[in-house]
């Protein structure tokens, strides 16, 4: 073997060693991004203490690093969830969205105890159970009020997860429900009730208006009658006063003067004395 060939072999061996070292080095480190936690396994056995974000050393082939997302995440369930209100009215929830976070301290435990922690933490059954429990505590009006049903469903879901995985393992930050509806028969009953209520209110308003008009008319008539009576009273009092004045002014002397003023100087054909009325010629004969 020539010196040149020996030199080439040494270079090739050195390159192989360098490449091998690079491969070993590259497989000995993992980068855990910000917002994630590393869970280290050794021959499949999970280490209980999680690994923080950054560059993490591991033994090639022997150890692996599982990255767990600890950022705020959203999961949406499009399936319908049928429940009951406290009035035992059937109600349907659709488009339930959950905003949650996995605790970094409990990441290793969740990976160790769930076959698929990414999809196994929040299942359809867990979500449905929380929504149903919340709906059962609300009446028909509040169950359709997102300001009531959503925070209560969030509380119920947090209690279920705390009981299932331990406290502070998973945080429920928000529950959003896109659509809430009653079953069709209930909607029809509500519509009929609303129509009846509107008809009742309309009739009540019309009756009130009729009563008010009748009362107003009665008051007008009363005022008119009182006015007419007052006018007649005033007229009667005035007439009586006038008659009294006239009566008081007609003395015997005044009546005699008025009689002489109108007398033509002739005696009446018939005169009376006392309560007896006699012809005038008889009176003349007696005077002779």
Q: What is the pLDDT of residues 100-156, one digit of tens each?
A: 999 998 998 998 888 888 888 999 999 999 999 999 999 999 999 999 999 999 999
Whether 252 shows a pLDDT value over 80: the answer reads no
CA 122 from chain center: how many Å?
31
pLDDT at 177: 95
Residue 279 has pLDDT above 50, yes or no: no
Q: What is the rounded CA–CA span in Å between residue 31 and residue 120?
A: 25
Distances (CA, A) of 92 to 45, 129, 144, 194, 211: 44, 13, 10, 21, 46
Which range of 54-63, 67-76, 272-281 scores highest in mean pLDDT? It is: 67-76
Residue 172 CA to chain centroid, in angstroms? 26
Winning range, highest mean pLDDT, from 29-43, 77-91, 144-158, 174-188: 144-158
End-to-end CA gap in the chain: 217
Q: What's the pTM?
A: 0.57
- pLDDT of 194 > 50? The answer is yes
Mean pLDDT of the 201-216 span:
83
Please state, in angstroms and rounded to a whole number, the distance separating the CA atoms of residues 67 and 47: 13
- Read off the pLDDT of each residue in 185-207 and give the average, rounded to a whole number: 70
- Reported as a pLDDT band with limits 50, 70 and 90, residue 261 is low
pLDDT cut 70: percent of the chain above it: 72
pLDDT value of residue 287: 45
Average confidence (pLDDT) over 240-258: 66
* Residue range 154-171: mean pLDDT, rounded: 94
Residues 5-9: what's their mean pLDDT?
Answer: 66
Pairing of the two strands 90-102 and 170-182: antiparallel
pLDDT at 78: 82
Residue 51 confidence (pLDDT): 85
Domains and CATH numbers, the chain: 12-67 (no CATH), 73-188 (3.30.479.30), 259-287 (no CATH)
Answer yes or no: is pLDDT of 278 > 50.
no
Name the range with the highest mean pLDDT among 136-150, 185-199, 214-228. 136-150
- The 10 Å Cβ neighbour count of residue 139 is 13
With a cut of 70, say whether residue 263 has pLDDT above it: no
Mean pLDDT confidence for 166-174: 93
199 vs 170, higher pLDDT: 170
Q: Is the pLDDT of residue 227 over 90?
A: no
Residue 211 scores a pLDDT above 60? yes
What is the reported pLDDT for 201?
80
**If you compute the radius of gyration of the chain from its CA atoms, what whole number of angstroms results?**
58
| Confidence at residue 176, expressed as pLDDT on a 0 to 100 scale | 96
């Amino acid at each position: 073997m020539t010196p040149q060939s020996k030199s080439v072999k040494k270079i090739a061996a050195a390159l192989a060693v360098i490449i091998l070292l690079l491969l070993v080095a590259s497989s000995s480190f993992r980068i855990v991004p910000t917002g994630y936690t590393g869970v280290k396994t050794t021959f499949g056995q999970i280490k209980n203490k999680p690994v923080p974000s950054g560059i993490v050393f591991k033994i090639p082939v022997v150890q692996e690093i599982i990255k767990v997302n600890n950022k705020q995440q959203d999961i949406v369930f499009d399936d319908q969830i049928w429940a009951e209100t406290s009035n035992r009215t059937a109600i349907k929830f659709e488009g339930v969205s959950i905003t949650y976070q996995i605790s970094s301290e409990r990441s290793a435990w969740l990976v160790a105890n769930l076959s698929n922690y990414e999809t196994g933490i929040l299942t359809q059954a867990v979500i449905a159970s929380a929504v149903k429990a919340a709906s059962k505590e609300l009446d028909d009006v509040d169950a359709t009020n997102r300001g009531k049903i959503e925070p209560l469903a969030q509380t119920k879901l947090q209690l279920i997860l705390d009981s299932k995985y331990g406290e502070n393992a998973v945080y429920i930050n928000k529950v959003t429900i896109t659509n809430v509806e009653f079953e069709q028969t209930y909607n029809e009953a509500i519509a009929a009730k609303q129509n009846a209520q509107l008809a009742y209110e309309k009739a009540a308003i019309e009756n009130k208006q009729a009563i008010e008009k009748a009362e107003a008319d009665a008051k007008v008539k009363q005022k008119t009658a009182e006015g007419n009576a007052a006018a007649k009273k005033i007229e009667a009092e005035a007439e009586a006063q006038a008659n009294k004045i006239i009566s008081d002014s007609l003395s015997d002397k005044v009546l005699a003067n008025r009689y002489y003023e109108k007398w033509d100087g002739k005696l009446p054909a018939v005169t009376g004395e006392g309560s007896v009325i006699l012809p005038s010629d008889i009176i003349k004969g007696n005077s002779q």
